Structure 1
Amino acid sequence: MEKLSKRIAALDLIKGMSVIGMIIIHTLLIYANVKSQSETVIGSFIVFLGRGTSIFLICMGITFMTSSHQSLKSSIKRGGLLLFAAFFMNFMKFIVPAVLGFAPDNFIQKYGWHGPIEQQYMYLVMLGDILQLAGISLLFVGFIREYVKNKYGILAIGLLIALVSREVSGTIIDYPVINYITDLFFSNDYPAYIYFPVFPWMSFIIIGMFFGKWFLELNHDSKKLFRNMLYVGLVFVAIGAPLVFGFDTYNYNGFYHMGPGGVIYFAGWTLIFLWIIFRITAKMKDNKFTSLLKYCSRNLTSMYMIQWILISWGKGIFGYRQHSIGSVLLLIILYMILTFSVQKLLDLLKKKKPVIVLEQPISVDETVLK
């Protein structure tokens, strides 16, 4: 059994891999032309990898339950800090290039804006990314952890959110500020586009919490936990597949706004994938590569923000969705180097002391996320 207290070592490596993966995926999505994304083997494979968001969210739920920070107050505080980080990232990604004049024209024209520039800036700041989902979820799942002690009760809540997600999708209350809040929860596309609405995406976090609770009940036995993930994953796929492929309009309807069948189906494959990765990483010895992955895991939130900001700024230099797959591969290497360089610079500036806003909400050994 691992020495690590209430900690699953494989999740460090999985989350570290997600950092490498997100740089690859986001570089392709921003710089590759349509042909490179959809008509090349490499581009199509990278786009496929971009469907791995559920891996991060389930890992987030597991580490949330096994974190040393168990108070409701701590969860709410970190949720608020993550929301602040999310809007700060959007400001740096979009507003800085727009104000300084190095946002490419075809990116601006993509949205077909006709209103005041201030309204356009507000739209960009409010775009809903994974950090908004994580922040809002922390404001709620802390109550689940505090008051729901039975693991099957936790699972039932997660599945219930998935089951009602299609019914509540598009809920709107016609007041300016409240509209945005309902957007974040139910994705009405007004006044901003939300990629990961709470309904249904919080389901994955709560499913992860179910397995985190199970891990504690198994006395931190990782082998048994991942074996149980495999069994549950197979059941989920068996239930979700006929719903997705037989009634796709209601149960799937696109990756970002899937219905109940889609959540169960994707959760099933995610659990199976996590079992496979556990079996692979269980045989891995500590080396420079695993140390790199663990470093990425410890700094996941900050590196997520860094790579998105750098990639967004680079549109002013390299253009937006104009490159062949060969050029994109070179840009991926460039942004790998830049992201790690900026993170190392931050390490020096903070003298290796973790910053709560960027680090604690997602570190495996500290608390919550990816």
Structure 2
Amino acid sequence: MKEQSKRILTLDVIKGISVIGMIIIHTLLVYANVKSQYETAIGSFIVFLGRGTSIFLICMGITFMTSSHQSLISALKRGILLVFAGLFMNFMKFMIPVIFNFAPDNFIQKYGWHTPIEQQYVYLVQLGDILQLAGMSLLFVGFIREYVKNKYIMLAIGLFVALISREVSGINPDYPVINYILDLLFNTDYPAYVYFPVFPWMAFIIIGMFFGKWFQELNYDTNQLFKNMLYMGLLFIVVGAPLVFLYGDYHYNGFYHMGPGGVVYFAGWTLLLLCLINIITVNVKENSFMRILKYCSKNLTSMYMIQWILISWGKGIFGYRQHEIGYVSLLILLYIILTFLMQTLVDLIRKKKTLIDFSLISGDKRILK
């Protein structure tokens, strides 16, 4: 079986779309005023798109199972690197503007600060985002991939993560370093704010792993995989909807810290959306836009970091949550262009480094010229 047969074009397209989408969403959230975000059709639609995190995580779980890097050590290493990448990104997003004094006043005021102090800087660096979620999750799901061989046990583990998420939230032994780790896991409200705690969000990754394992057992039959997703998605919606709409305080409780019913319900709609995107993808011929999306998919982590850093730095130039939707639309275009330009620069640096490393190994000094 060739490696290419293990790849699902739809997943590459979705991850590519997520790169473009997150630039649009983050630009709106940072620069648009409240009216533009919630009282305009465009703003409301973009905010709605921001609820698509689950589709990315399920895709992550599927590709994690079919990746060529299957060792436990590689998963653990990547997990640790992603956590530190998230902290580095936060440092670049928040500390650089403060250090060089171009953070906007109303952004500082958002946190009730009058004068920035060291503890408040630490708060910003510790903010928990998708990179910390992915990194912390890999420290767990690496063991699941290594030792759990039955897909239904994988699914049961994922549902168990969702089931206990509300019960483990709030664990707080009052030791700063330990509390921060527990905050990333359980959202303990230790002073860092974690948007995506591992419990319950890791459940989506493990659900994706369930389908990745199923994909392997189907001998990489993409059509059958998406049929199975359709059936499971409908089942998840039927189970999750009553829990969310009848017992929402416990089973939903907001998008970022949802309970078990919310996870099942969102997973169901996510699987149906995956099926819809697959139908569209398989009926579209290869074109320039598809190649761009594949490029974004390949460079998802670096482009995620680049766009967040650029958008955060731009607050010192364009202001914070002050603009109408028309102005923000221009900024969205600007940041898409800047992100691609910076990623191209990163590619050139990587290529140059590879050539230099090769020249040192081969002794070919012409490469250095």
TM bin, normalised by shorter chain, reads over 0.9
Aligned to 1:164: 164
Deviation sequence 1:289-312 (CA, Å, 0-9, x none) = 100000000000000000000000
Q: How many residues align?
A: 354
1:8 aligns with 2:8: yes
Aligned to 1:73: 73
Root mean square deviation, CA, Å: 1.5
Cα deviation, residue 142, structure 1:
0.5
Aligned to 1:331: 331
| Higher Rg of the two aligned structures | 2
Query: Equivalent residues in 2 for 1:131-280 (5 A)?
Result: 131-280=131-280
Partner SS state of residue 5, structure 2:
coil
> Are 1:173 and 1:182, in contact at CA under 8 Å, matched by a contact in 2?
no
Structure 2 CA distance for partners of 1:46 and 1:2, relative to 1, 3 Å: farther
In 2: Cα distance, 1:302 partner to 1:164 partner? 33
Query: Equivalent residues in 2 for 1:62-101 (5 A)?
Result: 62-101=62-101
In 2: Cα distance, 1:41 partner to 1:4 partner? 41
Structure 2 CA distance for partners of 1:75 and 1:9, relative to 1, 3 Å: same
Aligned to 2:27: 27
Cα deviation, residue 165, structure 1:
0.5
> Are 2:204 and 2:267, in contact at CA under 8 Å, matched by a contact in 1?
yes
Cα deviation, residue 353, structure 1:
7.6
> Are 2:237 and 2:268, in contact at CA under 8 Å, matched by a contact in 1?
yes
Amino acid paired to 2:145: R
Aligned to 1:311: 311
Partner SS state of residue 68, structure 1:
coil
Cα deviation, residue 116, structure 1:
6.7
Structure 1: give runs of 5+ residues left out of the alignment: 355-370
In 2: Cα distance, 1:216 partner to 1:263 partner? 25
Aligned to 2:284: 284
In 1: Cα distance, 2:352 partner to 2:70 partner? 24
Cα deviation, residue 114, structure 1:
6.4
Partner SS state of residue 6, structure 2:
coil
> Are 2:90 and 2:126, in contact at CA under 8 Å, matched by a contact in 1?
yes
Query: Equivalent residues in 2 for 1:353-364 (5 A)?
Result: none
Structure 2: give runs of 5+ residues left out of the alignment: 355-369
Larger relative CO (CA 8 A, sep 6+): 1 or 2?
1
Aligned to 2:361: none
> Are 2:108 and 2:114, in contact at CA under 8 Å, matched by a contact in 1?
no
Cα deviation, residue 231, structure 1:
0.6
Structure 2 CA distance for partners of 1:223 and 1:339, relative to 1, 3 Å: same
Partner SS state of residue 191, structure 1:
coil
In 2: Cα distance, 1:153 partner to 1:281 partner? 31
In 2: Cα distance, 1:338 partner to 1:115 partner? 32
Amino acid paired to 2:254: G
In 2: Cα distance, 1:177 partner to 1:3 partner? 42
Structure 2 CA distance for partners of 1:194 and 1:24, relative to 1, 3 Å: same
Aligned to 2:366: none
Amino acid paired to 2:75: S
More displaced, 167-176 or 310-319? 167-176
Amino acid paired to 2:326: G
**TM-score normalised by structure 1 residue count:** 0.94
In 2: Cα distance, 1:45 partner to 1:2 partner? 40
When you count helix as a share of all residues, which structure comes out higher? 2
In 1: Cα distance, 2:167 partner to 2:352 partner? 47
More displaced, 322-331 or 344-353? 344-353
More displaced, 167-176 or 207-216? 167-176
> Are 1:179 and 1:191, in contact at CA under 8 Å, matched by a contact in 2?
no
Aligned to 1:300: 300
Deviation sequence 1:115-171 (CA, Å, 0-9, x none) = 871101100110000000000001110000011000000000000000011111111
Cα deviation, residue 172, structure 1:
1.1
Among the aligned pairs, what percent are the same residue? Answer: 76
Aligned to 2:105: 105
Aligned to 2:367: none
